[in-house]
Structure formats: structure tokens, C-alpha cells
Amino acid sequence: MNTAFLLNVAISPYTREGVTCRFLAVITHYYLLCCFCWMGIEGFQLYLLTIRIYNTYIKHFILKLSLIGWGVPAMVVIVTSLIKSSVYGYTNNSLPQCWIKTQTHRYITISGFFGVIFLFNLIILAVVCYKIFQIKSSAPQNEVQPTRWKEVCTILALSCLLGSTWAVVFILENLREPFTLYFFSTLNSLQGFFIFLWFCAMNCPSKAKETKQEGKVTLSAAVVTISSSQ
């Protein structure tokens, strides 16, 4: 999607209403929808891992996910083209590029498409957060509890994974200020970095856990020493 967007911005001023311009608009639209669709698949995967848990085996799972992730956006683009053949072309908006020319089609196929997926992911995220705090409250008191900052990192990383960085541009779309574009671009480019920080936080043992593990090792060593002396 990023490659298609950069090619679009670089080439569109020289192509205008030609076939190349329409092709750039189609592939940019398609890959953008693919990004949204795969975010929905991530939400569904999170549902299987944390909510459903049991009986999650699905025959040809990866193949079915691939057909949905790549096929549904293709169907949307094809239907959009069939409804109106001239829907794709050169647009001279705040960012001149080859794109969807009619505002109605943009709202339905982009904002509407993303809105449905984001709403589904928000519901999944809310249920997962509820599960996280429910597990913590029901855990034994003597068990080492995860620290508050790890819980916050978990929720923030899951929200990034499920498309919260993309939601910024739709919420601030009507402002049409350069700050909005720079803020969204910076935040969205750090999506993978935020998930990386979450991965590091989740795999960094707390001091209480380290102390408990050291105690177990010391106790095991003492048992071995006593057994060998006997």
C-alpha cells in the first residue's frame, strides 16, 4: 500500500486522466482496503485466542483468511468500477493524485468499510480488556501479578494492532490541516514500533518474578546439596 501510494503521488501529475492514472487509483484503493481487511482478521484472530479459546480449529484456516483478506477488497474495487466506470481518475484536492473522484464512493468504500471493521475491533478490544482485568482479579493473592504498566502496554499495543492509528485520520479528516497529515503519518509509521515495545515489555520479567525465580533456584540447589551429602 505504501509503495502504491508513493508511486501514485510521484506519477499522477504526469498521467492525469490516462489508463495509468486509473490503474494507480485502483491499486491504491485495493491495497488500502486490504490493510483494513487484515486488521479485521487480526481482531478475529484475537477473538479466537482470548475469547473463544476452545474448538478454534478451522479447516484450511490460512487459505480462508487469505481469500477474505485479499478477496473482499478485490470485490469492493470491482463492484465500484462496474457501478461507475469513471469513478477512478485524477483528483486535484489537498493532495493531487489518482484516486476516487466522487465523494460518495469514497465515504462508502473507504470510511464505511473501515468503520465496520474498526467497530468490530473495538468490541473485541473491549472484551479482551475485560478478560485481562477479570483474570487479574480472580488470580490467587500469593501469585505474582503483572504490573500496571504492562497492562497498559498490552492494551495500547492491541489497540495499535487493531487499527487505532488509522482511526486518527478519519476522526481528524474534516480538519484538513497539514498538522493532521503529519501527525497521522508519524503515528501510523510507528505502529510496528509500538507493537515491538509491547513485545519487549511482555517478555521483560518483573523484579518480583525474578526474586521468586531466584528463590526457587536457591531452594533447588539446597535440596540437591542435602541429597548429595546424605
Integer Cα distance of 30 and 73 in angstroms: 6
Q: The pTM is what?
A: 0.78
- Please name which of 126, 113, 99, 202 lies closest in space to residue 166, comparing C-alpha atoms: 113
Q: Residue 120: its pLDDT value, please?
A: 94
What pLDDT is attached to residue 188? Answer: 80
Q: What is the mean pLDDT of each run of 10 residues along the chain (230 residues)?
A: 88 84 94 94 87 81 94 96 87 82 90 93 88 71 59 75 81 66 79 76 59 45 40
